[in-house]
Amino acid sequence: MRRHLILSVGLASLLVGALVAWYLVRQEREFQRLIATGDSALAQNETFGAIEAFSGALALKDDSMLAHLRRGDAYRRRGELDEALRDLEQAVALDPSAPAPVELSGDVNAAMGRYDQAAENFRAFTQLDDRSPRVLYKLGLAYYRNRQIDQAIGALQEALALDVRFAEAHYLLGVCLRDRSDVEEARKSLTRALELSPTFAAVREELVELYDDEGRRREAVEQLEALAALEPDRPERLVSVGRAYASWGRTDAAILTLARAADRFPDEPAVRIALGQLWLDVAGREDDPVALKKALAALQPITVSPSTPTEALVVYGEALLRSGETGRAEQALVEAATRRPVDPLVFRHLGDAAERLGHRAVARDAILRYAALVGEDRLDRQTTDQLSRLR
C-alpha cells in the first residue's frame, strides 16, 4: 500500500513537472513569436502594432531587457518620448552592460532638448564601447547644443581619430571651431567635410557665412551658386545669390539672377520681393523712373492674395509712394499694418502716405507706433521733424 502511494506521488510529481516544463516552453515560444512580430512591424514602421506585440511579450516576461528596449524604440519612433524613456531606462536597469538602450536613451533625451542628460548617456556608452565614432559624434553634438564648445571639440576629434572620413563630424567640428573664433582651423574642417560630401548643403551654408565674414565675396558667392545648382527646386537659393550680389554692389549680376529666378518661379513671393526691392533700390540711387516701374511690375502680381507676406506689401507700398500713387500706397500699407509679424517700416511709410493725403490722425498714429517700435532716440531727423509737426 505504501509502495503504491509512493509511486502515485512520484507519478504526480513527474506529471506536474512535465506540465510546468510544457508551459514554460510554450510561454517562451509565445514570447519569441511576439518579439519577432514586433520586430517585423517595426521594420515596416508600423509602430502601433510593434508596441502591442512588445507589450504582449512583456506581459509574459516583464524582466526582459530586450522587450523593454524594443518597445522603447517603438515609442521613440512614434514621438512618444516620455514612454520611450521609461522603457529604455528600465532596459538599462535590467542590463547595465548593454550599450543599445544607453545610446537610445541619449537619443531620446536629445530629442527632448535635455542635452546635459543626453551627454551623460553618450558618455556612459563610451565607457561600454569607446570605438564608436557615431556615438562620439552624438556626444559632441549634445555638448555643442549645451554650449559646451571645448568638450564638443574633444569628442568630435575622438570620433575623427576613429573615422577620418566622417563628413558630419568634420562639419560640426568646423562649426565649433568657428564659434571659438578659430577661423583657419574651422575653414579646414569645413573644406574637408565638403571634399568628403560635395552635396552637404549645411557645409556650404556655413562656408558662405565664414567667407562673408572674412570679406571673401568670390568664394562666398561660389558656394551660394553651388547650393542653387544642388537644390534647383528651392527658390530661396537663387534669392540668396541675388541678394549677395546686390549687397556687394554687383547690381547687374543681382538683377540677372533674380530675373532668372522669377522666370523659373513666377508665383514665389520671396523671389518677387527680392526683385522688387532690388529695382526699388536702383530707382532710389539713380532716380530712375524705369527701375521704379519695374519694381511695381515685379511686386504687383503677389499683392492681390490674402496670404501676401507683410514684406511684400511694405515694399509695394513704398514703391507706390515713390511713384506718386499715394492713395494706393496708403491702402497697401494699411493692409500691411494688420499683418503679423509687424514690420516697423509699415508705419514709417504709412505716416508719409497719410500725411501727404492730409490724413493727420492716421499719420500721427502711424509715426507714434513707428517711434514706439524702434525707439525715439533712433529716429532720423526727417522723422523727428514729422513727429513734431503731427503732435
Residue 24 grid coordinates:
514554460
Query: SS3 helix, strand, coil % of the chain, rounded to 5?
Result: 80, 0, 20
In tens, the pLDDT along 250-286 reads 999 999 999 999 999 988 999 999 999 999 999 988 8
Residue 319 lies in a domain: yes
What is the count of structural domains for the chain?
Answer: 2
Residue 340 lies in a domain: yes
At residue 92, φ and ψ (nearest 5 deg) are -65, -40
In tens, the pLDDT along 80-121 reads 999 999 999 999 999 999 999 999 999 999 999 999 999 999
Residue 148 lies in a domain: no
Burial class (CB in 10 A: 0-12, 13-18, 19+), 295: buried
Q: How many CA atoms lie within 13 A of 337 on its CB side?
A: 21
Quick one: average pLDDT of 282-303? 91
Higher pLDDT, 78 or 15: 78
Please determine, for residue 249, whether its predicted confidence score (pLDDT) is greater than 90.
Answer: no
Domain interval for residue 72: 24-95
Please determine, for residue 302, whether its predicted confidence score (pLDDT) is greater than 80.
Answer: yes
Residue 155: which residues within 8 A CB-CB, separation 6 or more? 136, 137, 139, 140, 143
Burial class (CB in 10 A: 0-12, 13-18, 19+), 137: buried
Distance CA 151, CA 90 (A): 29
pLDDT value at residue 381: 84
Residue 171 lies in a domain: no
Looking at residue 312, its amino acid is A
Distance CA 67, CA 58 (A): 6
Please determine, for residue 76, whether its predicted confidence score (pLDDT) is greater than 80.
Answer: yes
Looking at residue 284, its amino acid is G
In tens, the pLDDT along 193-231 reads 999 999 999 999 999 999 999 999 999 999 999 999 999
pLDDT value at residue 11: 53
Q: What is the CATH number of the domain that holds 383?
A: 1.25.40.10
Q: How many CA atoms lie within 13 A of 13 on its CB side?
A: 6
Residue found under cell 500500500 = 1
Residue found under cell 511579450 = 57
Closest by CA to 146, choosing from 176, 189, 182, 181, is: 176
pLDDT value at residue 305: 78
Last residue of a domain, one of 54, 76, 95: 95
Residue 341 lies in a domain: yes
Residue 192 lies in a domain: no
How far does CA 111 lie from the centroid of its chain?
13
In tens, the pLDDT along 324-374 reads 999 999 999 998 888 877 888 889 998 899 889 999 988 899 888 988 888
Closest by CA to 379, choosing from 355, 347, 356, 357, is: 347
Last residue of a domain, one of 80, 95, 110: 95
Residue 273 lies in a domain: no
Residue 100 to residues 131, 204, 271, 279, 325, Cα–Cα distance (Å) = 14, 33, 47, 58, 68
Residue 242 lies in a domain: no
pLDDT value at residue 25: 62
Please determine, for residue 17, whether its predicted confidence score (pLDDT) is greater than 80.
Answer: no
How confident is residue 72, by pLDDT bands cut at 50, 70 and 90? very high
Residue 138: which residues within 8 A CB-CB, separation 6 or more? 103, 106, 107, 110, 118, 122
Whether residue 191 contacts residue 170, with contact meaning beta carbons closer than 8 Å, is answered with: no
Show the CA angle centred on residue 213, arms to residues 164 and 219, nearest 5°. 65
Last residue of a domain, one of 66, 95, 124: 95
